[in-house]
Structure 1
Amino acid sequence: MQWSLEKGYVLADGLHYLGFLELLHQVIHPDWYLEIGTRTGASLKLSAAKSIAVDPDYQLSHEVIQNKPALHAFQESSDAFFEAGRIQHLGARIDLASLNGKHLFEDLLRDFIGTEKCCAQNGLIVFQGGLPQDEAMASRDHGPVAPADWAGDIWKILPVLKRYRPDLKIDVLDAAPTGLVIVSNLDPHNTVLEENYAAIVQDYQNTTLQDYGVERYFSALDIQSAADSRWLCAFPFELGKGWRDKPDISIKIAAPTRDKMVKWGDYHFARSLARAFCRLGYKTTICPAEDWYLHRRAGGIDLVLRGRANFHRQPGRLCLMWAISKAMRAVNYTNADHVFWASKQLFEKAKLDQPDGQFSLLPQAFDHDLMTLGPKKARKGLAFVGRARAGFERSSVVHAAQANEDLRIWGPGWQAGKYAPYVVAEGVPNDDLAEIYQSAQVVLNDHTATMKESGFLSNRVFDTLACGAIPLSEDVGWLPDDIADFVYLYHDQESFAAGVARARAESAAKRKKRDTLARQLVAVHSFKARAVEILKVAEALRAETLSA
């Protein structure tokens, strides 16, 4: 249906709310999702979380189970659902809730009250209807308005929340067709709305938007673009102040699709970098190949990891490349405003081959949220964390096994081979890595053939040092000067054995210096330090463009 916008109203013509909701799921990865008003299942199918659906009259036309670990569907009114304490009986804390019931403000108010009580820390409640396009769409009776286009008097919830709950954070997005409201900073223990429910209904139930004042209502809203919303950045809860006045950053990784990218190593590298950018107040997204050109706002920054991906510069945006594990293809030189090299060897070569090019040496980094000094532990054995790679053996594992060392492996792909006796677990949560490193006499690090030949130093070296642990790393031809004295290197069986012996013989004085280094690395080799360096280059390039 085509709508003619009435005077004073605002057109919600941004990203469709279903598209936004799909992206929101992918960003915040809720453990529990609640949906009130499922109807056909068009929105429920988007969830990959443990899900709870409530609707008195399901008319499902979509496959809603898919890959959900659990789906609890209740065919009853939301009032009956909350009165029965269904969420509490499931032991769930809601991370994301979509309230899409009868489109009457008092119903939504009760659903909001019931939902907030069950929300987790950093939980979100979203609902449609904050941006009706005319008087008919905003009325309590949809009349001739098609149900799909009817917002009802949901709009009233916004002035109610602002009046009674100023502690809440409310974002109003231009998501089609009737706007989308996101409420955060929820407080499950707050009872103000419940205690004042009767008075609120009495004051607002019979008030029309015309009575309230169309201009008064819309002028009080800070309406944001759904596509550019902070909630679609990689770390919306950690986004620093001033982000609206700064360029957005879109990190491009080589993973082909969004559903596959979480299994790529570059994705976890990108997340650590994105968190640093977000904390500095730069809205940052992570995009697989299928979404490389999704973010096009002029003035933004495209940061391409790896360098071998054929990304083409977008008009009006800076294009930066960071080659973290592979060489560059020639086509990317012409598309890049600046290239960061994590390999000193390739950085020096690039300066010779392209004397007029814009290059910097920028090694890999460590995530200070994960890798920090901890309590002193008894150190035992040689720790290796990584997957078994098809086509070649991991050199550090080979040398440790041949030396009959107390080798301990965490990673997939080893159970079926000759190194199975050394396997501790097929995986390890990132939050547990620091403890594993700190509990080992030596932490082993090797490289893919490409990284070794090209001189790319793995971030595992920085991870290990940041924990105060001792790395024994395959030699790739260079080390940053400030860490060179604290990394033992090997290139064959003999040098591997010598490195292990030197690590075990470290003096107490050397261990103390190692702890001092770990504290200093935050300012030099953390992802925050790398983010600051990248931003300095971007600001200089922007200044050059403006002066030209």
Structure 2
Amino acid sequence: MTGRCRRPSGRVAAGGYAERVISRARNLVNAARSRAKRALGGSPVEAPLSWAIKVPAPDSPEGDVWGDVFYAEDLARALRRLGQTVYVDRWETRTRPDPSVQDDVAVHLRGFHRPELVDGAVNILWIISHPDWVSEEELDLPFDLRLAASVPWAAVMSRPDREIRPLLQATNVERFTPEVQPSDLESGVLFVGRSRNIFRPIVRDSIAAGADLEVYGDLWEQFIDERHIKAEYLDNAAAPGAYRGARIVLNDHWDDMAQHGFVSNRLFDAVAAGALVVSDAITGGFPVEFGGSVRTYASVDELRELLAEGASGWPTPEERAATSRKVAEFHSFDARAMTLLVSAREALAARA
């Protein structure tokens, strides 16, 4: 019987329940870090595995600009640096056309489509966004490993017979660095993203606050004055320079991601690039490695103060550089690839 996921009501509450959730979440995070540290400590050279990273994007020019595709390609490159053989499969090409190529590991990045398990492979479900799309029935499928890009959601949704480990999103630290480049795009308050045909609250509130806002994205003409629209699209290659060149970067989350503590990928990229970010709040807060580089607001007046030139309370350039280094250490795709490789080899060893 298909059912929707059980969820915490609203934000994680105070008191005994919250303490149990936080304690469980910390134990899950510490266990994941311990496994990765053991692997980093050195092990005999093992034969490379064949990986398939399954993404929901269509195999078309439209799919070429999906965030899931960029994410999968960054993860694939990190796994290849560990000596692995990696394919990125989009939805229409999810079945390997050459039967001689057998997948040892399939990483399913959950998106618009429910994953299809790969026979014989170690199947890893990684929920990086939209937890409301994932049913209890899907979580109960025989995945070898279930991961979620939210510490509180992983803790709440885990059961004794169905562990969900937290594994947050990541950034490409080769691209998103704080090192200023001549090609960086200077701006005041920057927002990158489509309108989705809604007046996204952080953009609406920034306009109300009188911010010197610059927007890259389409479908905004119906909501904001054209003087704020710089272009309908920002190439992914230009994103690091845009974040570095902005005085403040704006970030927001889909409602279900905010409610269940799924940290936006943009936050990892922007902070790694040394940016200062104003975001909406999410359940559980943000990774401690972000330091003071990410701040939230609760009213237009508070947002106006945060966005003002010379606003107090923001970290110094030196502190931002240190924060960028911490993000590079703990939240790179290389760190995530190592965690996935260790977990896959553990699953294969358990089958032997």
TM-score norm. by structure 1 comes to: 0.51
Task: Find out whether 1:389 has 2:192 as its counterpart.
Answer: no
SS where residue 322 of structure 2 aligns? Answer: helix
Which whole-Å CA distance do the structure 2 matches of 1:368 and 1:348 have between them? Answer: 28
SS in 2 for 1:374: coil
**Which sections of structure 2, spanning at least 5 residues, go unmatched?**
1-44
1:338 matched to 2:145: yes
How many residues align? The count is 300
Q: Secondary structure at the match of 1:499?
A: helix
Asked whether the 8 Å contact 1:306–1:323 carries over to 2, the reply is yes
For residue 312 of structure 1, the aligned residue among 96, 113, 116 is 116
Q: How does 1:137-536 map to 2 (within 5 A)?
A: 245-294=47-96, 297-298=101-102, 300-306=104-110, 309-327=113-131, 328-333=134-139, 334-351=141-158, 354-375=159-180, 380-390=187-197, 392-477=198-283, 478-501=285-308, 504-506=311-313, 510-536=316-342
* Equivalent AA in structure 1 for residue 116 of structure 2: H
> Relative CO higher for 1 or 2, CA cutoff 8 Å, sep ≥ 6?
2
The answer to whether the 8 A contact 2:193-2:216 is kept is yes
SS, match of residue 442 in structure 1:
strand
Q: Output one character per residue of 1:297-326: Cα deviation in whole Å (capped at 9) or x when no partner.
A: 556111011266322322220000110112
Instruction: Tell me how far 1:501 sits from its aligned partner.
Output: 4.9
Q: State the identity %.
A: 27
Work out the CA distance in 1 between the residues paired with 2:202 and 2:268.
17
Counterpart AA for 1:364 = Q
RMSD over aligned Cα atoms:
2.6
**Could you tell me whether the CA contact under 8 Å between 2:211 and 2:307 is conserved in 1?**
no
Structure 1 Cα separation of the partners of residues 306 and 262 of structure 2? 20
Task: Provide the TM-score with structure 2 as the length reference.
Answer: 0.77
Match of 1:47 in 2: none
Amino acid aligned to 2:290: I
- Mapped to 2, the partners of 1:365 and 1:438 lie a distance apart of 18
Instruction: Provide the C-alpha distance between the structure 1 equivalents of 2:174 and 2:310, rounded to a whole number of angstroms.
Output: 26
What is the CA–CA distance in structure 2 between the aligned matches of 1:506 and 1:378, rounded to whole Å? 24
The CA deviation at 1:417 is 4.0
Show the counterpart of 1:542: 348
Determine helix, strand or coil for the equivalent of 2:146.
Answer: strand
Is contact 2:202–2:280 with CA below 8 Å preserved after alignment? yes
Distance 2:121 2:47 in 1: 15
For 1:303, give the aligned amino acid: V
1:491, distance to aligned residue in structure 2 (A): 3.9
Secondary structure, aligned partner of 2:246: coil
Contact 1:303–1:322, Cα closer than 8 Å, also in 2: yes
Distance 1:405 1:287, change over 3 A: same
Note if contact 1:488-1:503 (Cα within 8 Å) is conserved in structure 2.
no
Distance in 2 (CA, whole Å) between partners of 1:437 and 1:308 is 28
Match of 1:96 in 2: none
Q: Quote the Cα distance in structure 1 between the aligned partners of 2:126 and 2:301.
A: 35
CA contact (8 A) 1:253 1:305 kept: yes
Q: Tell which deviates more after alignment, 459-468 or 298-307.
A: 298-307
The worse-fitting range, judged by mean Cα deviation, of 373-382 and 424-433 is 373-382
Question: Whole-Å Cα distance in 1 between the matches of residues 74 and 160 of structure 2?
Answer: 32
Distance in 1 of aligned mates of 2:129 and 2:235: 23
Tell me how far apart the structure 2 counterparts of residues 288 and 464 of structure 1 sit (CA, whole Å): 27
Contact 1:258 1:290 (8 Å CA) reproduced: no
- Where structure 1 has 5 or more consecutive residues not aligned to the other structure, the ranges are 1-242
The SS at the match of 2:126 is: strand
Cα offset for 1:419? 3.7
